């Protein structure tokens, strides 16, 4: 459901600016990539409401810059600086932040005070340089997890979960392994965007499903393998585009007896057999027709994987969102926001931020600020109702602070005004934190997924790069993996395997082996990171192309590039085919 609260005076002012026709649209050339981009009248009204200058970078470059500050890919061994406990860390041992990090218990405790790191603002220096000095001085938490976790040491960007391993951007899960974007799920493994599901394996964008393997874009399906774009299907195999079906095999309706007979011929635990089925699955998908965009319950909106949206433009992987633009991966209530990557849950009037959420309001140029944060500018990791702060790091319940130094309310506003004026003169105000200062190597960040660069390109632009990613090679003790899961011995969990793609070593944990045996799934031949990237590559890019519907020739926008072989229909033609 859309948010039903009334508009605040600030929202009414924004609405008046949008409808007043008092601001002219403009074209700009991106300061980073030189591409031309439009700043509309509606955009300018938003920037005026936020009291920020129009951006100088185009939307994709702005997103890349935000993503460069977000890590959700790798974990390293580390040590808590305070209690000396061994921890898993988001920072490589070579990263200076690894030498000043706390375990979660110490970070959330009262054993230290972030205000003790406060320093006065120096008008003779760049604000971004001063902020980086502070950001390097204040201790980080070893991982960005909440404290409501049980047996989830090997996780990052995770909350309210139990018995999970190598899951990222995950919450409210139990017994889940090797996943990304997993929500309210149990006993799922190797999944990407898996919500409210159980016993799923190698699944992408599934909701409310049970017992699926090698499936994508499915809702409310159960006990199926190799399904795509299916809703309400039960006991189906190698099917695409089915609705409320049961006992279908290669899109053919069978009797229960014939279905069981055909299924009995499939050797599920065989790696070779499953690879042959995957090949048939890909061939079947090329004969299917695809909806131009994955959207449901949208009004005056444009984007992909967009659900329950009103006036949401260029938004991807979002739900319950209104009056917003250039947003990705936001859930459960977002209003009047621009250029936000990640999180959501009741945020309003936020601009150019990464991972902000939990009822936060009026944030700009912030990263990882949440829990009723309000009126923050250029802050990182501020929680617990922190408000009216500028350039602060790791605060809890802070107010009227600048660079972690406490001020009175009048002192705060006077100095804030001076800093903004100086930043505008230096060309800093209105820009997100520089990529050159980001907290990890660019290749460790989420930006490398969506905007990959080579080391040479990163170094040329002055961006940090991590040469020692967590991997070992050449230490394998098991050269040949048995084809069938039934032939795998218990001691495989003591062996070291070699990825067939990147040659990286990896291991199989005991819970994983039990899952494969229970579900008749062969051992994977690739390491976790390669499997994760394989799933990532099966999703369409967050980019829109102009095409014609391949049935009615209507103009459409779609995430399927024109040169791709898939059959792409407009919404109405697609619905006529599947229903």
For residue range 381-421, list pLDDT tens digits in order.
999 899 999 999 999 999 999 999 999 999 999 999 999 99
Per-residue pLDDT tens digits for 48-101:
999 999 999 999 999 999 999 999 889 999 999 999 999 999 999 999 999 999
**Per-residue model confidence (pLDDT) at position 1:** 34
Q: CA neighbours within 13 Å on the CB side: how many for 37? A: 18
**Per-residue model confidence (pLDDT) at position 356:** 95
Q: Please compute the mean of the pLDDT values over residues 274-298 and round it to a whole number.
A: 95
Alpha carbon distance 437, 111 (integer Å): 28
Mean pLDDT of the chain: 94
Indicate if the pLDDT at residue 3 is higher than 50. no
Find all residues with CB under 8 Å of 24, minimum gap 6, and list them: 41, 44
**Per-residue model confidence (pLDDT) at position 44:** 96
Per-residue pLDDT tens digits for 507-553:
999 999 999 999 999 999 999 999 999 999 999 999 999 999 999 99
Q: Residue 320 — very low, low, confident or very high, per pLDDT cuts 50/70/90?
A: very high
**Per-residue model confidence (pLDDT) at position 23:** 59
The CA-CA-CA angle for residues 350, 351, 355, to 5°, reads 75
The percent of residues in the chain predicted with pLDDT above 90, rounded, is: 91
Alpha carbon distance 195, 172 (integer Å): 10
Angle between helices 41-50 and 9-19 (to 10 degrees): 150
Strand (E) or helix (H) holding 249? strand 248-249
Indicate if the pLDDT at residue 43 is higher than 60. yes
**Per-residue model confidence (pLDDT) at position 147:** 78
Q: Please compute the mean of the pLDDT values over residues 449-473 and round it to a whole number.
A: 95
| Residues 547 and 560 sit within 8 Å (Cβ to Cβ) | yes
Q: CA neighbours within 13 Å on the CB side: how many for 38? A: 5
CA dihedral 262, 268, 272, 273 (to 10 degrees): 10
Q: Three-state SS for 398?
A: coil
Per-residue pLDDT tens digits for 158-195:
989 999 999 999 989 999 999 999 999 999 999 999 99
Alpha carbon distance 203, 207 (integer Å): 10
Q: Which residue has the tokens 């016993």?
A: 199
Alpha carbon distance 61, 73 (integer Å): 21
**Per-residue model confidence (pLDDT) at position 4:** 38
Please provide the DSSP assignment of 276-298 as one string.
HHHHHHHHHHHTSEEESS-EEEE
**Per-residue model confidence (pLDDT) at position 439:** 95
Shortest CA distance to 225 belongs to which of 170, 182, 269? 269
Q: Residue 332 — very low, low, confident or very high, per pLDDT cuts 50/70/90?
A: confident
| Residues 163 and 153 sit within 8 Å (Cβ to Cβ) | no
What residue segments make up the domains of the chain, in order of their start?
A: 545-578
**Per-residue model confidence (pLDDT) at position 12:** 52
Q: Please compute the mean of the pLDDT values over residues 463-485 and round it to a whole number.
A: 93
| Residues 423 and 127 sit within 8 Å (Cβ to Cβ) | yes
Indicate if the pLDDT at residue 284 is higher than 80. yes
Find all residues with CB under 8 Å of 136, minimum gap 6, and list them: 96, 97, 100
Tokens of 433: 């934190």
Q: Residue 579 — very low, low, confident or very high, per pLDDT cuts 50/70/90?
A: confident
């Amino acid at each position: 459901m859309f948010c039903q609260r009334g508009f605040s005076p600030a929202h009414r002012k924004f609405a008046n600016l949008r409808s007043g026709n008092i601001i002219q649209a403009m074209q700009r050339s991106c300061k980073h990539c030189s591409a031309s981009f439009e700043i509309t009248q509606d955009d300018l009204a938003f920037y005026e409401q936020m009291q920020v200058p129009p951006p100088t970078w185009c939307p994709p470059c702005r997103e890349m810059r935000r993503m460069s500050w977000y890590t959700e890919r790798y974990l390293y061994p580390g040590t808590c600086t305070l209690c000396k406990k061994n921890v898993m860390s988001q920072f490589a041992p070579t990263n200076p932040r690894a030498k000043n990090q706390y375990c979660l218990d110490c970070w959330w405790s009262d054993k230290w005070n972030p205000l003790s790191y406060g320093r006065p603002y120096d008008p003779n220096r760049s604000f971004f340089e001063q902020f980086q000095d502070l950001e390097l001085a204040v201790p980080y938490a070893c991982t960005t997890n909440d404290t409501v976790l049980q047996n989830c040491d090997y996780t990052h960007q995770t909350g309210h979960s139990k018995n999970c391993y190598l899951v990222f951007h995950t919450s409210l899960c139990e017994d889940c392994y090797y996943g990304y974007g997993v929500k309210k799920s149990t006993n799922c493994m190797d999944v990407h965007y898996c919500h409210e599901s159980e016993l799923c394996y190698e699944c992408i964008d599934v909701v409310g499903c049970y017992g699926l393997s090698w499936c994508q874009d499915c809702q409310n399906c159960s006990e199926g393998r190799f399904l795509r774009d299916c809703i309400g299907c039960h006991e189906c195999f190698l099917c695409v585009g089915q609705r409320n079906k049961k006992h279908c095999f290669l899109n053919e309706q069978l009797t229960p007896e014939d279905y069981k007979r055909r299924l009995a011929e499939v050797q599920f635990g065989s790696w070779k057999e499953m690879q042959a089925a995957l090949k048939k699955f890909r061939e079947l998908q090329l004969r299917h027709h695809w909806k131009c965009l994955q959207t449901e319950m949208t009004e005056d909106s444009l984007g992909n994987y967009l659900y329950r949206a009103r006036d949401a433009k260029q938004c991807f992987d979002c739900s319950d969102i209104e009056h917003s633009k250039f947003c990705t991966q936001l859930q459960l209530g977002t209003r009047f926001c621009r250029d936000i990557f990640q999180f959501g849950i009741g945020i309003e009037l936020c601009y150019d931020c990464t991972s902000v959420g939990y009822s936060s309001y009026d944030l700009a140029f912030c990263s990882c600020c949440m829990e009723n944060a309000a009126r923050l500018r250029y802050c990182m990791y501020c929680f617990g109702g922190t408000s009216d702060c500028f350039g602060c790091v790791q605060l809890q319940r802070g107010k009227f602070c600048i660079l972690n130094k406490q001020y009175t309310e009048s002192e705060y506003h006077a100095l804030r005004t001076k800093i903004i004026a100086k930043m505008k003169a230096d060309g800093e105000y209105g820009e997100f934190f520089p990529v050159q200062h980001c907290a990890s190597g660019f290749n460790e960040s989420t930006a490398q997924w969506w905007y990959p660069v080579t080391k040479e390109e990163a170094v040329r632009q002055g961006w940090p790069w991590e040469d020692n990613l967590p991997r070992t090679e050449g230490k394998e003790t098991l050269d040949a993996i048995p084809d069938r899961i039934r032939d795998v011995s218990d001691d495989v969990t003591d062996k070291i395997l070699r990825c067939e793609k990147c040659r990286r070593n990896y291991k199989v944990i005991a819970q994983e082996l039990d899952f494969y045996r229970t579900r008749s799934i062969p051992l994977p031949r690739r390491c976790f990171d390669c499997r994760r990237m394989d799933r990532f590559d099966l999703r369409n890019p967050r980019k829109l192309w102009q095409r014609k519907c391949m049935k009615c020739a209507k103009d459409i926008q779609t995430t399927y590039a024109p040169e791709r072989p898939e059959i792409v229909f407009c919404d109405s033609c697609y619905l006529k085919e599947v229903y």
